[in-house]
Structure 1
Amino acid sequence: MALSFLARNEVSDLCIGKPTLTPLPVSTTVSDALFALRRCFDSYLSICSSSSSSHTATSESKSAGKVSIVDIICFLCSDSNIHSPIAALKSPVSAVSSEYLIPTVDPHSSILEGLDLILDGGARNLIIPRRKKKNGSGGKVSEVDCCCLSQEDFVRFFLDSIGIFSSVAAQSVETLGIINTETLAIGYNDPAISAIHLLKQAALAHSAVVVVTNDGKLIGEISPSTLAFFFSGGSIENDTDVFSLPAAVATLTAGELMAFVDCGGGNSMIPTIKERLKERNLTGMLELLEGDYDEDLISVFSSSSSGTSSSDEESPATRKSSIGRRKYSRSGSYSARMGRKSEEAIVCHRRSSLVAVMIQALAHRVSYVWVVEEEDYKLVGVIVFPDLLNVFREQALGLE
């Protein structure tokens, strides 16, 4: 029954209520992508390899990957760019985007086929074309838009259909063998910049970097979602420079970075960041933090952040004073609006049931749940969405 259920339902069923995908063209610069992310309602944007300059996705467009705030932070803080971040911001976004293709899938493909692409093909997202018809009597297709399905959409589908998989729903995550003990971890007092390569892996795996004590107890996490929340301005009461986050990653420890993000930028920590930038001769990052960049880049930021071109009466000096200090009223994605802090990592125990973990993850809009010991909060491992999804596929194949 379970196998026929997955084969009968189409991936397009998961697109109901999903917004239309608006990808960035490959000609986009990193600075353009940065402010596009600041305006959008998601923590990442897709990059379209179509040669067209239009932002409209079509059935012929191919997604060449996606870009997130974490991708840009890691790019600016890399060894090759940390001394010249302003020049790095003028690079094409293809230099930053995650290095994998997001497949375009026929909307009539089954849930099982989509699941196979995720679990066997390594896809983290799927692009689903949606055809619109003319209102006239001809009824011909006039345009095609697309939506992007995530692993979360598939997990939500299985939770809604949990009655069909009741035999595994109540089993513990330990019994099911889905606890991954290979975690991306960093010490509380370790330099945050040493976690750059871990953050890149976490962004690709839809996971996070866990912060632990010397004896392996979980303290908190540095997650793509909390960094995106910080950047969106959803928890910032005072205007904060856009570039304080990469500067903080370049200078603070993991514990300090958690505190910096959780307090919305903490103006009291900015002088410390600036002093450490000077000590480490990171003058380029300091110039970026202080707004000392050239007029060409300023005009790009100004038009990108406002969504319109600058007024003729607005001088470069006026634009410069406003860049990175605008007050953004939007609250960003749903996960951002949750306002979850870095130390509030979502955890479960070995004996937690499969359905309980699914509910936890979906309620908090995360794609992973940390597993800790009940007695001392020592980190055991992590459960990620692909492992959850694999349980349902194996159950379906075994039941039919």
Structure 2
Amino acid sequence: MANRLLAHEVSDLCLGKPPLSSIPISATIRHALAALKSSDDTHISVWSCDLDHHSTTHDHCHCVGKICMVDIICYLCKEDNISSPSLALKAPVSVLLSPIPGVVKHVDPSYSLLEAIDLIINGAQNLVVPIKNTTSKRKQLRQPTSLAPTTHAGGREFCWLTQEDVIRFLLSSIGLFSPTAAYSIESLGIIDTKILTINYHSPASKALAAISTSLSDQTSVAVIDDDGVLIGEISPFTLAYCDEMVAAAITTLSAGDLMAYIDCGGPPEDITKVVHARSGRYNRSDKFIMRRAEAIVCQPRSSLVAVMIQAIALRVSYVWVIEEDCTVVGIVKFSGMLKVFQEHLESLID
């Protein structure tokens, strides 16, 4: 059974994954915004394509990054942009791309499961994998205002694998990781105590840098009171389901009021009026459904498998760790979980 798991390649994890939709690096932020609003995914891949000298098709395309609504929101919150969002949206999408190399990485379909885990632990968030194209024709990358599966010579399309995909795959074979999966996250040493926080009463704008960092780290910003008690969170996973009007909320409200604003129950009317007064230049989209700002928590003695199930069920890549008095002590991330599985799998090889 263990040998069978070790024999899996990334192509096995791609089964049933839809072709990756894309925008070209020549697109503007406004084009990216339109693409996100018309997509079922919270992230859009950005591609750079080299034309060959004898063809008008994009034969050599390479994914150079990914963007989501949070990237756009943080960009619009900058002092020079919040007063003139229409002008800011004309900037090239390249200004939103992460400066950290290797966040998006192309891999061959024959990469092993262990190789994929190693890449993720070392910083890759999305593995771009070619998949077999169901059509015989090569497609061009469409105009910046629309989405299209990206293909290259040979008719291949692409999908991408995330940390969640790998964790979900490992969870389906969790019995092979006994007794490790039943150990507490505290005993496994995977509680990260370096966390991002903001006081409940502080201006939400003070969390802007932390929000950007949490997006890069695939974590979140804890909203705490004066005693360190976890009240809630400002999460990129929540903000990714919002629209660009949240930029005005971040620059106007307190951290606590921002949580109320993005809560799925709907923001209080007085808060909404304040944001609308600041955001007359924004057009609200009904496509985005607000997700709850309530934090997902566990305790140090929680088992690894229980925390995995929590995160997978709620579609996040982290879980906050709190004590019995609700003070936050750290966070458990998918990357930390994957290190445990990596060590377990490598022990099977030795």
What is the TM-score with the length of structure 1 in the denominator? Answer: 0.76
1:110 matched to 2:112: yes
Q: Residues 81-130 of structure 1: CA distance to partner in whole angstroms, max 9, x if unpaired?
A: 3343322110001101223441111011111111111113x101100001
Counterpart for residue 157 of structure 1: 169
Kindly state the Cα deviation for residue 60 of structure 1 after the two structures are TM-superposed: 3.4
Kindly state the Cα deviation for residue 270 of structure 1 after the two structures are TM-superposed: 3.8
Counterpart for residue 67 of structure 2: 67
Kindly state the Cα deviation for residue 387 of structure 1 after the two structures are TM-superposed: 0.2
Contact 2:18 2:159 in 1 (8 A): yes
Matches within 5 A, 1:231-310: 231=243, 243-262=244-263, 263-264=265-266, 266-273=268-275, 286=278, 289-291=279-281
Q: Percent identity?
A: 45
Kindly state the Cα deviation for residue 17 of structure 1 after the two structures are TM-superposed: 1.5
Query: What CA distance in whole angstroms lies between the structure 1 residues aligned with 2:329 and 2:59?
Result: 44
Contact 2:36 2:43 in 1 (8 A): yes
Kindly state the Cα deviation for residue 160 of structure 1 after the two structures are TM-superposed: 0.7
Contact 2:261 2:272 in 1 (8 A): no
Query: What CA distance in whole angstroms lies between the structure 1 residues aligned with 2:218 and 2:348?
Result: 29
Contact 1:230 1:264 in 2 (8 A): no
More strand by share: 2
RCO comparison, higher one (Cα < 8 Å, 6+): 1
Kindly state the Cα deviation for residue 7 of structure 1 after the two structures are TM-superposed: 3.9
Counterpart for residue 10 of structure 1: 9
Question: Structure 1: where are the runs of 5+ without partners?
Answer: 232-242, 276-285, 292-322
Question: Structure 2: where are the runs of 5+ without partners?
Answer: 52-56, 138-152
Runs of 4+ in 1 over 6 A off after TM superposition: 133-136
Contact 1:9 1:111 in 2 (8 A): yes
Query: What CA distance in whole angstroms lies between the structure 2 residues aligned with 1:324 and 1:264?
Result: 18
Contact 1:185 1:211 in 2 (8 A): yes
Counterpart for residue 50 of structure 1: 49
The alignment's C-alpha RMSD in Å is: 2.4
Counterpart for residue 283 of structure 2: 324
More helix by share: 1
Cα distance change, pair 90–134 in 1 and its aligned pair in 2 (3 A): closer
Which amino acid in the other structure matches residue 163 of structure 1?
A: G
1:201 matched to 2:213: yes
Decide which moves more: 173-182 or 40-49. Answer: 40-49
SS in 2 for 1:23: strand
SS in 1 for 2:90: coil
SS in 1 for 2:21: coil
Please say which structure displays the higher CA radius of gyration: 1
Decide which moves more: 170-179 or 187-196. Answer: 187-196
Query: What CA distance in whole angstroms lies between the structure 1 residues aligned with 2:66 and 2:136?
Result: 34
SS in 1 for 2:274: helix
Cα distance change, pair 59–218 in 1 and its aligned pair in 2 (3 A): farther
Cα distance change, pair 326–162 in 1 and its aligned pair in 2 (3 A): closer
Equivalenced residue count is 326
What is the TM-score with the length of structure 2 in the denominator? Answer: 0.86
Counterpart for residue 361 of structure 1: 311
Counterpart for residue 54 of structure 2: none
